[in-house]
Amino acid sequence: MYSEKIKLAAYSKKEDKLNCITHAAGVLLAVAVLAICLKKSLESGEANKIVSALIYGGTMITLYAASAFYHGLPVGKMRKIARVIDYSMIYLLIAGTATPCALIGLYHINRGHALFVFYFAWACAVVGILMSTVFFEKTRVLRMVLYIGEGVVMFASIYPIKGAIDKCALGLLILGGLIYVAGTIFLRLGKKKEYAHTIFHLFVLAGSVMHFYVMVKYIF
């Protein structure tokens, strides 16, 4: 069966509890993110902002909920399936974060670049999710490359119009991306070092907070 091919990381009960708690806190953060961004977008009355807020906040809630659910399950078939869903949701958050950047931040500067970033992000999300669900154990390295490569290509695509973009906003977006990337070091160490995966969770939370700040201050 499909689930029998999926391997589970061996976390201690204490570590898994911390993994669950950290990203349960992420769910609360994401709900606040959705509420604040949606409030600001509704006040503006702009459809692109309302849609972007729903997608951005919704994908963040989905990622943290999937992660907390996975780490809260006992070892078994359901946990294996939840692990695939957990890793798949990373692509959703990347695309969800790119959505307001594209449909709000970039759209009025250069429509072509905005649409490229939007469609590229969601195309990568679809490919990544399919790759994770069908070939989870065979695409570990490729999935990691796609996580990072998706962000790099999107940022690189902005280079031709960098002069029209707020430098502070762009810098903070890149910093948030680098925090996520730095966290992958601990993700890779998760099977070898106790609590490394918990530290990875904290990096993910920090990256989310950084990007949320950019969204509220510069985009919504």
Q: Quick check: is 114 in a domain?
A: yes
pTM: 0.90
Q: Quick check: is 73 in a domain?
A: yes
Share of the chain above pLDDT 70, in %: 93
Q: With beta carbons less than 8 A apart as the criterion, state whether 84 and 65 touch.
A: no
- In this prediction, residue 191 carries a pLDDT of 67
- What's the CATH number where 99 sits? 1.20.1070
- In this prediction, residue 44 carries a pLDDT of 92
Q: Quick check: is 220 in a domain?
A: no
Provide the number of structural domains found in the chain. 1
123 Cα distance to chain centroid: 15
Q: What is the mean pLDDT of the segment spanning 67-83?
A: 91
Q: Quick check: is 183 in a domain?
A: yes
Q: With beta carbons less than 8 A apart as the criterion, state whether 87 and 135 touch.
A: no
Q: Quick check: is 1 in a domain?
A: no
Which of 1-5, 28-32, 143-147 has the lowest average pLDDT?
A: 1-5
Q: With beta carbons less than 8 A apart as the criterion, state whether 81 and 3 touch.
A: yes
Q: Within a 10 A sphere around the Cβ of 133, how many other Cβ atoms?
A: 14
- In this prediction, residue 76 carries a pLDDT of 87
Q: Quick check: is 6 in a domain?
A: no
Per-residue model confidence as pLDDT tens digits over 105-121: 888 888 988 898 899 89
Q: Quick check: is 41 in a domain?
A: yes
Per-residue model confidence as pLDDT tens digits over 135-144: 776 777 777 7
Q: Quick check: is 3 in a domain?
A: no
Domain span at 99 = 11-215
